[in-house]
Structure 1
Amino acid sequence: MTAETSRPLLSVERLSIEFGEKRVVSDLSFALHSGKTLCITGESGSGKSLTSLAIMGLLPKTARLPSGAIMFDGKDLLRLPERQMQHLRGQAIGMIFQEPMTSLNPLMTVGQQLEETVRRHEPLSRRESKQRARAMLDAVRVPNVDKRLGQYPHELSGGMRQRVMIAMAMLCQPRVLIADEPTTALDVTIQAQILELMRELQQAFGTTLLMITHDMGVVAEMADEVVVMNQGLLEERAPVRTLFKTPQAAYTKKLLAAVPVLGTMGKPVSKTKEPVVLEVKDLKVHFPLRGGWFEEARAIHAVENVSFTLRQGETLGIVGESGCGKSTTGKALMNMLPYEGSIKLLGRELNGLKGEALKPLRQDIQMIFQDPYASLNPRKTILDLVGEPLLIHGMKNLKLRTERVVELLEQVGLSAEAMERYSHMFSGGQRQRICIARALALNPKVIIADESVSALDVSVQAQVLELLERLQKEYQLSYVFISHDMAVVERLCHRVAVMFSGQIVEIGQRDQVLGNPQHPYTQRLLSAVPMPDVDRRKDFKSLLRDIEVPDPVKPRNYQIPRQAYKAIGIDHFVAV
């Protein structure tokens, strides 16, 4: 290999970033070689995203760079004036940001934003820029391109917005593409589609890829080389195979050990002899739509004829992509929205109960929400937040309430000192523990957990899952665990229900559904899961073909035909 071919396209040399007295990135060095993929991984607060912003010259003004250089084409990007950086951004170095909805202008159509990007860097006519925008949307496999060009970002799904972001970043065919957590908020099949698109674009345009992710499955699928960061420090840098087979740093070993791996859990303990605590039959949830004077009354048929049982000490996982109805099902179980059908909790019918009649039953069923920060009132202390259910249900004595809160916090691994603090003073994992403590306050029999670990780092996620397992054993709790992470579902659940377009298409024991999937949709979901194993890389090309999803908007009184099921084995049913 000659010196010319081995020279890196972009190199970060002894980079340090500070905010005031706090150093958030320290003495970081790595090199990016032409046509390769480098993944930077690590947990929240490790400095991954700040490093990418430093490369793009987009660090906040409060940031200070006491040392280091970022070399690209013989120039130090940290020393370039803003005008030259503006020329480089998009044309030579493109970036896909983590949250496409906040990165796209809500007041401009997709077409206008793409054309603006092209004309900023190249002297093209309006007609030529439209052709370029259309061609790039075709390249990222956006269907109905002409329609999409005239739509606004809020009219697109999350996966479609991310495709638009990739198209925008690739418009000027940059030599380096930085992708900051490009798949974090996406469903597993959409994630697989985005990863496959990035592979295709890399091959078609010879793009060099710098990917930032905390998902070790994505790292194993995409990386040629890996940089592991922890609290601003470089823990390890190695080729991807070396890192997964023989990790050297203790932190890397800990990170890999915490990753749940699909297909490693075996057969779950059967709970068929335990008493039924929750029985759901023919559950329907419809959301009426407002129409014109002469229009037929319509509704979104979000959940249709869902039936299942949950036994004492059992965890039922509900999986599926966004919009399948799983979170709506969870909210219906909590009586948080109107529904049709029967929900029996410990043999008592919940449908039709309101106010004081419903209040006593609330003690037996509680919910842990997806976003712990949004579900905790920032104006209240932890004592008030965790003690609130106790106060609502009659525990007026502050001393007794405080004692119970201390007990609950200790159960979830927090100290009594946490009581006097506010939610913003805790990490994401600690906030989720507080939410679990609050859900446990009234000694419930059933807990609905809606994506309760999806926003957590892998090691914190492992700790919270261990906590949920321990609490289940101690108190014989029953969980309805709603998630799109199949590996987490396999670890925690005894049985799994797969939802598609508002209906259950497959339900059975965990090893039956995940180990021997029968429905094509279940098979598609499982084929999209990236494995944290370099020897099991997947070809996601077949997933680029979108499956047809029935339109959930129907006439208000429309009766969707009842789903028929075929028994595959004991307690394993598949829609036919």
Structure 2
Amino acid sequence: MSATKEVTGTARPLISVEKLSIEFGQGPDCKRVVDNLSFTLSRSETLCIAGESGSGKSLSALAIMGLLPKMARVPEGVILFNDKDLLSQSERHLQNLRGKEIGMIFQEPMTSLNPTMRIGDQMLETVRRHRLATGGGAQQHIRNMLDAVKIPRANDRVKQYPHELSGGLRQRVMIAMAMLCKPQVLIADEPTTALDVTIQAQILDLVRELQSEFGTAVLLITHDMGVVAEMADKVVVMNQGVVEETADIRKIFTNPDAAYTRKLLAAVPRLGTAPARPHPVFGEPVLEVRNLRVRYPMRRQGLFAPARELIAVEDISFTLHQGETLGIVGESGCGKSTTGRALMNMVDFEGEIRILDTDIQGLKGAALKKQRQDIQMVFQDPYAALNPRKNIAELVAEPLLIHGRGTPAERHSRVKELLAQVGLPDADTMTRYPHQFSGGQRQRICIARALALNPRIIVADEPVSALDVSVQAQVLDLLEQLQQEYELSYLFISHDMAVVERLCHRVAVMFAGRILEIGSREQVLNNPCHAYTKRLLAAVPIPALDSKLAPAVMSKDTETVDLIKPRGAVLQPIRYDQPEAGHFVAVAV
């Protein structure tokens, strides 16, 4: 399908936002977080709102949905939808509007999905509320939408709970729920942040298909300028609540007026532009993984049905040296995050994991606590990783308190230093709570907490996926600086190939629980040998107007491998060819 679409400039806008302002607090404590925002959105058009964390992008979207926090005020402005001001409508009217006429994909799927309900039941609520179908037709409508967003084994997924899905699969469920009613307007708040590049490409193409078929207007909020270049007709660039620039996509990328826009574009990491660097000499191995396997038991399909299990990781081996960064890339559900959790001893596993020559299998109590000082983890979902009842000072100091490090005054000083290192130096940061920060700011807090104990190894599970590009660059610089200063070792899990190229010394490509290719950054990214690696690299969106993804890349279905097997099943083994020293490529036996 062609990436281009025709937008009628004279058509009446579906949504018109005029001089919208949003404030928090009153009197001298009043803070304006969105100031004088105006834009229009027409049928079949895509408008991207781009900017850094805390710029007011998501709050503007919540205002359209009538979902602003209770403490927020709208002192001025109107939001017209089909010529009716949404700000003056009743809650009952807005409830009928949400989902049916205006759908929204939220930024953090784990906090948007009900953890006590199965996926199918949550989607069924929407189908019933808006009377889309009944009985078996409702279930079929749900399965069709899960298939449309490339969720494998839809019949099994509808019976699962959110915590049983990977981050990428949860985001795809959110997209499917938003599309159930085929709304006139789709608001997408960082919809592809948690998705690997191949599924991201397919989702973007799916959104375009929806626009073409139903005339859907899309309001896309993102910090990924590659996605902006791929999708947008018009762009609004925001900075600290103020609109820096509004223009069509060609002007933004070829001749932007605002200095801030130029700065934003300059900070975008581009695959293939990482500077060449000499091959460092690493220290001794700090992490050795041999024949790692992780399998999860599945519910029986019937009383006499055979026991089944999900094969999450199957027979992988690798070594991480002192001062080295090993990147693990692959599609959602390939086993990347499960591998990281196994290294933290957070899941049951088979095989051998040695951290600083200590076998961690079976460690409990004081022995496990001692070993955790050497390895820390930055999780993918920052909001779920932070206790909402504790302020930031308590959260960042928690590892120090658990391990008895320092006096209260020393811990306070250490927390202040860590927050400054990750770009949160404000004096009131320490007394605030997680919900008072943007998604990107919460991720920086998680990174600060992981650094508190000066660990030897950090397992970073998508640590910069929620960060805007300029802060992303700062955090990557910080990780490199800390690595050089303390000889830290990183296991860096990511779907952003440009970030992997920027930070990693070696790269491992995973698919269906196995490592298909592993080697140095140059070997894997510049000379990929496995067909799957080549496909991953071909799907990376480039932040340039003349580099749109080919339709063949975007429309190609995900390779599906059924990893739910009878308990104790033995998979076909694989062997590895070595096209050059240190470069290994999987070959089926």
Q: What TM bracket, shorter-length normalisation?
A: 0.7 to 0.9
For residue 307 of structure 1, report the CA deviation from its aligned partner.
Answer: 0.7
Distance in 2 separating the partners of 1:139 and 1:380: 40
Deviates more, 1:296-305 or 1:417-426: 417-426
| Corresponding residue of 1:164 | 176
For residue 553 of structure 1, report the CA deviation from its aligned partner.
Answer: 2.8
Is residue 2:55 matched to residue 1:46? Answer: yes
Retained in 2: the 8 A contact 1:196–1:541?
Answer: no
| Corresponding residue of 1:468 | 479
3-state SS of paired residue (2:310) = strand
Seen in structure 2, the aligned counterparts of structure 1 residues 76 and 473 have a Cα distance that, compared at 3 Å, is same
| Corresponding residue of 1:571 | 582
Corresponding letter in the other structure for 1:181: E
Gaps of 5+ in 2: 1-7
| Corresponding residue of 2:222 | 213
Corresponding letter in the other structure for 2:326: L
Retained in 2: the 8 A contact 1:193–1:540?
Answer: no
Is residue 2:488 matched to residue 1:480? Answer: no
| Corresponding residue of 1:264 | 273
Seen in structure 2, the aligned counterparts of structure 1 residues 89 and 129 have a Cα distance that, compared at 3 Å, is farther
| Corresponding residue of 2:314 | 304
Distance in 1 separating the partners of 2:49 and 2:13: 16
3-state SS of paired residue (2:546) = helix
1:471-529 Cα shifts (integer Å, max 9, x gaps): 01111111111122222211111111111111111111112212232222222322222
Seen in structure 2, the aligned counterparts of structure 1 residues 494 and 118 have a Cα distance that, compared at 3 Å, is same
Retained in 2: the 8 A contact 1:318–1:326?
Answer: yes
| Corresponding residue of 2:378 | 368
Seen in structure 2, the aligned counterparts of structure 1 residues 380 and 527 have a Cα distance that, compared at 3 Å, is same
1:5-34 Cα shifts (integer Å, max 9, x gaps): 365454322223344534332222222344
| Corresponding residue of 1:187 | 196
Deviates more, 1:83-92 or 1:296-305: 83-92
Which of the numbers 206, 210, 213 marks the counterpart of 1:204?
Answer: 213
Retained in 1: the 8 A contact 2:443–2:466?
Answer: no
Distance in 1 separating the partners of 2:123 and 2:347: 38
Distance in 1 separating the partners of 2:66 and 2:482: 47
Which of the numbers 8, 14, 22 marks the counterpart of 2:19?
Answer: 14
For residue 437 of structure 1, report the CA deviation from its aligned partner.
Answer: 4.5
Gaps of 5+ in 1: none
For residue 249 of structure 1, report the CA deviation from its aligned partner.
Answer: 1.6
Distance in 2 separating the partners of 1:416 and 1:47: 19
Which of the numbers 275, 284, 288 marks the counterpart of 2:293?
Answer: 284
Retained in 1: the 8 A contact 2:308–2:567?
Answer: yes
Corresponding letter in the other structure for 2:360: L
For residue 347 of structure 1, report the CA deviation from its aligned partner.
Answer: 3.6
| Corresponding residue of 1:246 | 255
Corresponding letter in the other structure for 2:179: A
Distance in 2 separating the partners of 1:390 and 1:4: 58
RMSD of the alignment, in Å?
4.1
Seen in structure 2, the aligned counterparts of structure 1 residues 496 and 33 have a Cα distance that, compared at 3 Å, is same
Deviates more, 1:539-548 or 1:40-49: 539-548
For residue 256 of structure 1, report the CA deviation from its aligned partner.
Answer: 1.9
3-state SS of paired residue (1:534) = coil
Deviates more, 1:465-474 or 1:229-238: 229-238
The count of aligned residue pairs is 567
Distance in 2 separating the partners of 1:128 and 1:391: 54
Distance in 2 separating the partners of 1:403 and 1:91: 51
Retained in 1: the 8 A contact 2:292–2:316?
Answer: yes
Distance in 1 separating the partners of 2:109 and 2:453: 40
1:73-102 Cα shifts (integer Å, max 9, x gaps): 555554566777677666665555556674
Retained in 2: the 8 A contact 1:319–1:496?
Answer: yes
| Corresponding residue of 2:3 | none
Bigger radius of gyration:
1
Report the TM-score when normalising by structure 2: 0.81
Retained in 1: the 8 A contact 2:143–2:154?
Answer: no
Retained in 2: the 8 A contact 1:134–1:145?
Answer: no
Which of the numbers 494, 498, 503 marks the counterpart of 2:505?
Answer: 494
Is residue 2:534 matched to residue 1:529? Answer: no
Which of the numbers 516, 523, 530 marks the counterpart of 1:505?
Answer: 516
1:130-161 Cα shifts (integer Å, max 9, x gaps): 69958984994778999699878869843652
3-state SS of paired residue (1:284) = strand
1:223-265 Cα shifts (integer Å, max 9, x gaps): 1111112232211001111111222222222222222222211
Distance in 1 separating the partners of 2:134 and 2:430: 60
Deviates more, 1:238-247 or 1:98-107: 98-107
Is residue 2:75 matched to residue 1:66? Answer: yes
Corresponding letter in the other structure for 2:499: V
Distance in 2 separating the partners of 1:4 and 1:351: 63
Seen in structure 2, the aligned counterparts of structure 1 residues 100 and 440 have a Cα distance that, compared at 3 Å, is closer
1:335-360 Cα shifts (integer Å, max 9, x gaps): 23332222233344334544444555
Distance in 1 separating the partners of 2:424 and 2:218: 41
| Corresponding residue of 1:519 | 530
3-state SS of paired residue (1:559) = coil
Deviates more, 1:526-535 or 1:362-371: 362-371
Is residue 2:40 matched to residue 1:31? Answer: yes
For residue 377 of structure 1, report the CA deviation from its aligned partner.
Answer: 4.7
1:249-288 Cα shifts (integer Å, max 9, x gaps): 2222222222222221154542456432222111122234
Retained in 2: the 8 A contact 1:221–1:534?
Answer: yes
For residue 397 of structure 1, report the CA deviation from its aligned partner.
Answer: 5.6
Which of the numbers 323, 326, 331 marks the counterpart of 1:316?
Answer: 326
Deviates more, 1:253-262 or 1:487-496: 253-262
For residue 65 of structure 1, report the CA deviation from its aligned partner.
Answer: 3.7
For residue 221 of structure 1, report the CA deviation from its aligned partner.
Answer: 0.5
Distance in 2 separating the partners of 1:201 and 1:224: 16
Seen in structure 2, the aligned counterparts of structure 1 residues 92 and 486 have a Cα distance that, compared at 3 Å, is same
Distance in 1 separating the partners of 2:427 and 2:20: 38
Corresponding letter in the other structure for 1:521: Y
Is residue 2:237 matched to residue 1:237? Answer: no
Distance in 2 separating the partners of 1:414 and 1:135: 44
State percent identity of aligned pairs: 59
Distance in 2 separating the partners of 1:134 and 1:439: 39
Retained in 2: the 8 A contact 1:268–1:511?
Answer: no
Distance in 1 separating the partners of 2:187 and 2:80: 15
Retained in 1: the 8 A contact 2:175–2:191?
Answer: no
| Corresponding residue of 1:255 | 264
| Corresponding residue of 1:343 | 353
Corresponding letter in the other structure for 2:526: G
Retained in 2: the 8 A contact 1:217–1:530?
Answer: yes
